[in-house]
Structure formats: C-alpha cells, structure tokens
Chain A
C-alpha cells in the first residue's frame, strides 16, 4: 500500500541528513509505528508520504503510484492526517471542522451531514451534543477525537498520525489508543503512527520502525523487537520500559524496600543514558 524506496532528505544544502536511505513497505491494513526521539527523522518520513515534504532522493509510492506524479492537494485529500496539536479551526463548529474535506471535495449537503453524524459516533462523541460546539468548548481528548473524525471524513484508505496522543493525560491517552486500534480494524485502514512512546508503539502496532539520527535501525513486530533487539540503541529503548515495569513491581511488592529499589532503578536509567548520549530522550 505504501512503499518508501531508498528515501533521503536533508534541510539546507549542507545540513545533516534528516532521513537517510530509508526503505519501508507497509501492507494494506497494517498499523505501523515510527518510533524515535525528536530529531530522529520520524516526522519527516511521515510527511513525505502526503507530500508535505518532498524527498531529495528515492521514491515514495502510495497504492502503487509514485506520489511525485500526483497533485499534492488532491493526494492529501485521499490521506487522513492527524497531528499532536490537532489544529481545529477555532472559528468553526465541530460539525464544520469535520465536514471540511467533504466540502472541499464538493459533496452534497445531505451526504455531508450524514457523514458528520456517522463520524462523531465512530469516535465516541454524541452527534446531538457535540455538532454545534466550538473547539474551545472541548477537552483535549475530545478535541483529538474530532481531529481523528476530521481526518477520516472523506473515507481515506490511509491514515497518518503524528504523535496524536502526546499531549494528553495518561488515562485519556490509553482510552484513545484503544479507540484508534478499533477504528483501524473496523475501517480496514492502512495506518502509520509516529510516536516517541515505546509502550504505545508496542501495544498498538503490527510492526515497529525504530529510527535514530535519520536512520532506520530496526523494523520488527513488537515481540521480535523485545526479544531480539537489532542493536544497542534498540536494546536500551526496550530496557527503559523493562526498568519502569520493574520499578512498578518493586513498589507493589513491599512498601519498605520500594523506595530504595526505585531509586536504584532510576540510577540504572541514568547510567544507560550516560553511556550513549544518542539514546537519551524523554521516555514517558
């Protein structure tokens, strides 16, 4: 469905490569997570799929067609796009925000109205209550639900998400992650999710693409990633999650010993970061 062949991109003539010789094929119906720290090139890679960024070298194909031959505006209307800050238009109601792409495509009014209700229901917002609200009358989680509904309005087969849950509190985040997995399955979407959250990538994705400094370090299923990390960097990322889980267990096991062991765990984490500055990052 989506194919990136030897894709490279750098900003400015003598800047370093943001993405270097990346190869990735995403099958129809697959949910792939691009995992990495900020500056790893994962967002650049994502934006090359809907031509918000054009690569300096290599080829990007969507549904078998080279995107360089497509009109970027027309291409983007067939690909759903969700970003962390949502970017709803503050002067438009929820219904008008969701209806944006169908309107651009010139759908009939009745079709648009039906579609808006259908989508609000799909993302778990009661249409009667939320249609007429404005973005500033919504919580962060509700706003991102509207963002997802807006991205899906014109029935795209491909959905791109750029850290969609990064700004949400943990409980809301987990709830929305579950909803995303359900919607992905129900609509048989091909989904690419950019995240810096290892737990999110492991729990949602069919396959995880680990990126560091513009390079793809490993492409693997969550299980393969945990059991057979390709290099030291990937292993460290996995260890961070392990350490967190260990800390949690320690806290649950004994109130007395918990504090000491917890701080020991934190020291391990510090040490891991110290060994490889490239591996530091705010892992949640």
Chain B
C-alpha cells in the first residue's frame, strides 16, 4: 500500500516537465530583461548601483515568501493589467524571474565593465560603431562572466521552483511538500534528488554550451538559442507524452496502485426512494472540461482531495488534483475560478475571511460562513460530518500527573511548560482567544512542522501542542485533548466548497452532494492515521474511507 520508488519515478515526467517549464520561462525572461539592462547600465555606474541594490534586496526575500507575495500582487493588479492568473504558473514564473535577475544582471555588468579598455579603444579607433563594439568585442569578451551568472541563476531557480507548490504550480516541490506532510521519506528524498539532479544537468548543459561558444565565437547567440529550443521541445513535446494515459497525474500522492475504487455502499444501484433530491436529475449537460480539485498542505486534505477525485471520476468527469496549496491561496483561487472544488473548515473561514476573533456556537459559525461564501458566489455543500478543530493536547502521563482536564487547568502550570505549535497557530486569533480566556503564559513557545508536532510531544520535547481534532495521531501517540469550556476555539466543520464554474453542474452535485454528513470523525481519524502512520497512499486511504462511509446517493447511478 505504500508508494514504491517505481511508482514515484513513473509519476515524475509531468512534474519534471512543469518544473523545467517554469525554470526555463523564468530564466529566459530574466535573460531577456537582465542582459539589455546590464548593457544599458554597464557604462552608467550612478544608475547601476541603485538597480543592483534593488535586485539584491529582492534576493534577500526568502523564496517561499516571494512566491506567496506574487499571489496578492497579481490579484490586486488584475494580473499586471493583462489578466494573468494570480494562481499557479504566472505568479511562480514572475517570482522566479525576479529571483534569477540579480546574478544575471550583476555578472553581466561586471563582465562588460571588465572588458580590456585598450581592446575597446583599438576597436573604436578602427571604426566600429557602438553596436558593432557591443556585439563583436564587449559581449564576446564578457561572455564567460555573463555565462557564469546565468549558470548561477539556473541552479538557484531550479531549487527555488520547488517552492511553487503552495501557490498552485505543480513541480518537483509536490514530492517534497507531500512527503514532509505525510512523513513519506521516500517521496521527500525523491523530490530532493530529482531537483538536485535537474540543477546539475542544467548546469552541465550550460557549461557545455559555454565551451562550444568560446571555441566558435560566431555562435554567441546561435548555440544558447539552440539549446533552449531543444529543452523547450523536451518539456512541452516529449515529457507530457511519457505521462500515464489516464491524464496528468498532478498529484504524486495519487500514485497508489490502481485499486479498483472499492465503491462499497456509495455505488449502491438505484436511487433512494423518498430522499429529497437537492439537484436536478442527470440530463445531458454542457461539458465543463477537467475539474480542478484543490488540497492544502496536510494529510487530511490529500485524502479528501483523492476522495473528491474518486467520486467525480465515478461520474465520468476528468479530474486534476492541485495539492499542497497555501491556506490563504486556496479560497481566493476557488473564488476566481482557478480551482473548482476543495474542502475547507468553517472555523478557518470564520477567522480568515470573516476576521472574527472569538469563537461562537457551532450553528452560528456554520450559518454565517455559508452566508458569506454564497455572497462570494461560492457554493457550500454543507458539513461533511466531522470537525478538524484546533485543540491543545498533552501527553497522557502529564495530564494525569498535573490533573489536567480542561484548558483552565493549565494556567497554574503553564509557566513551567512549553508549547509547540504549527507555523500559523501562534499568529492566529484562536491563540489570542485561548491565551486571554484561560490566562495561559507558557515558559517557551516553538513552531514546528505539523507533521512533526505529535512526535515532539510524545518524546517530551514540548509539553503542550496545538493538535487537530481529526488527527489520528492524538490517539496513536497517547495524547489527550483538553476541554474548552469557554468555547474560545471556534468549531471547524469540514465542508465541500464549489467554485462558480461547476457550482451548478449536475454531475458534480450528484458526485459530491451525497457526501454531506457522511464522514464521522472516527473514520477520518483512521484514514489520516493510515497515511501518517502506516504510510498508505492518500488514494488508498480515500478508497478505504469511501468503502466505510454511509453515503446515500441522491442521483441515478452513472
């Protein structure tokens, strides 16, 4: 049931292709901008130094932040005024272009300035025009330094491109993010090794090009253009054809053996008599093309995305899963039609989109969130039946020793205890609410990747952790969740959201509508644990979940 190395490699060509496409576009644009800019700036030190300072400042922005920053920038500027999507390829390519600009610009300026002054004077005295001087003397003589800059940029870009996954651009980073979240070290290493190999190969190709050019100076332009052309053909022509015939497997988590979807009760033939069908019966409908299903960066989301995929494919729809998306990116992508469906949580929307800083009764949160998404032209299919709420958990022996049952019991001990939390929790309103409601002041707080939190608690590296109530590892690591009598933490009902493109499509509604209320938290925990602990694939866990869930079909079987 685990993802073998063979399956990993079989699923790689499309991810490799989109990774390489991203890198090539970013490098080509950075060269197209950086080299003419360098030529213009080389003779103007007063202009060059502020431009280099700006490029250097961009370089110091961490890659993940720069990529994430492009999403709101593109959204706010209407895609830079030309309607570029604020999701996926465009923001990733722009961020990587900015990243690649500095080494290209700096080396080109250094190279052009370093051209021997006597050679330039002789060439001018010989009667070369400004353009001839540039093409026949300055560029060929600066070529080794310029080429070194492009090589540096290419290695950086291949590495930084792995961070494009959370903004919706499939790439080798999918293996790294998914591998980390589901603790699948084979997958993680696969992504890392593939990216490193790609960087080395690209560098070797550029080095060979550079050597060829230095021997045949007239090929200064022709050789790099030829190499670039060959790579483009490989990326857009060859690699996609190697991919599996059942459509692009955007999600590496999906690389499970093709278990015949154990449909269980979900495929029960015939309609349910008397069930009030919320949707029209299946009729010939306009084609909607491929349905894009999103997943955030944690195990449960991978499993649910595969579950949605299985349900949609059973209705004859073609599905792409775009996974490991940032929590704030995903709702915006759905609203703008870049995504068609994903599972979100009422409490997440309550705090992030509605900006509420206190909890409220579960029914109130649900109804206000549903009202909100409807105003944004997003359709909610109602709660799935389980919550994945923030909770604070402690080791069972600590709870027993200190007599901890509710969050309030922590207050007298907190000064001697440490809190481990995922990256967002400490900056979220929920944490402020818990802290003020129960008067908690911990001795120390630390951020962890959520995949490592439970283990950190069970090993005693931290005493209290932020946990998720549907996570199977709470029980598996022998932790206990502390009660929240003051309801400081909002409820987090999982709910399927549909984007405007598919929200009225009867096949989508038939496939996903019946999931309402069908997933109790015990089932979700066990499915999560299958992936996190037993290293099952997300697809396998989704298949198991579909087999166990009590799904009442509302439409005729396809």
Contacts and interface: CB of A to CB of B under 8 A. Distances in A.
Interface of A: 50, 52, 73-77, 81, 83-92, 100-101, 104, 147, 150-151, 160
B125 A83 contact: yes
B2 interface: no
B129 A73 contact: yes
B127 A73 contact: yes
Nearest to B214: A91
Contact of B118 (A73, A85, A100): A85
B353 interface: no
B127 A77 contact: yes
Interface string B123-134: 111111100100
Contact of A92 (B122, B126, B128, B217): B217
A101 B132 CA distance: 11
Contact of B127 (A74, A86, A88, A90): A74
Interface in B131-187: 132, 136-137, 140-141
Interface string B300-325: 00000000000000000000000000
B444 to A, nearest CB: 62
A74 B129 CA distance: 9
A276 to B, nearest CB: 32
Contact of A101 (B120, B124, B127): B127
Interface residues of B, number: 20
Contact of B125 (A74, A76, A92, A104): A76
Given A86-B118, A89-B119, A77 B126 contact: yes
A81 B217 contact: no
A81 B124 CA distance: 10
Interface string B108-127: 00000000101111111111
A87 B127 contact: no
B123 to A, nearest CB: 7
Q: Is the interface of B mostly helix, strand, loop or mixed?
A: helix
A110 B217 CA distance: 21
Contacts of A75: 127
A104 to B, nearest CB: 6
A76 B123 contact: no
A124 to B, nearest CB: 21
Contacts of A77: 126-127
A87 B217 contact: no
8 contacts: A52-B124, A83-B125, A86-B122, A89-B137, A89-B141, A90-B119, A92-B217, A101-B126
A104 B128 contact: yes
Shortest 4 CB-CB distances between A and B: which pairs? Answer: A87-B122, A85-B118, A77-B127, A81-B125
A91 B122 contact: no
Contacts of B118: 83-87
A91 B213 CA distance: 11
A91 B116 contact: no
Contacts of B140: 89, 91
Given A90-B141, A91-B217, A100 B121 contact: no
A88 B128 contact: no
Max chain A C-beta neighbours (<10 A), residue from B127, B140, B141: B127
A52 B119 CA distance: 14
A146 to B, nearest CB: 11
A89 B140 CA distance: 10
B425 to A, nearest CB: 60
A50 B126 CA distance: 10
A147 B127 CA distance: 14
B121 A83 contact: yes
B122 A73 contact: no
A76 B116 contact: no
Contact of B141 (A73, A84, A86, A91): A91
Contacts of A101: 126-127
A163 to B, nearest CB: 12
Nearest to A74: B127
Given A73-B129, A92-B217, A81 B122 contact: yes
Contact of B126 (A85, A91, A150): A150
B226 to A, nearest CB: 20
Contacts of B125: 50, 52, 76, 81, 83, 160
B201 to A, nearest CB: 28
Given A81-B122, A104-B132, 8 more contacts: A52-B121, A73-B127, A83-B118, A85-B119, A86-B122, A87-B121, A90-B141, A104-B126
Contacts of B132: 104
A104 B217 CA distance: 17
A74 B126 CA distance: 10
Contacts of A52: 121, 124-125
A99 to B, nearest CB: 11
Max chain B C-beta neighbours (<10 A), residue from A86, A100, A150, A151: A100
Nearest to B140: A91
Given A89-B137, A91-B214, A73 B128 contact: yes
A76 B122 contact: no
B128 A87 contact: no
B141 A104 contact: no
Contacts of A89: 119, 123, 136-137, 140-141
Max chain B C-beta neighbours (<10 A), residue from A73, A92, A147: A73
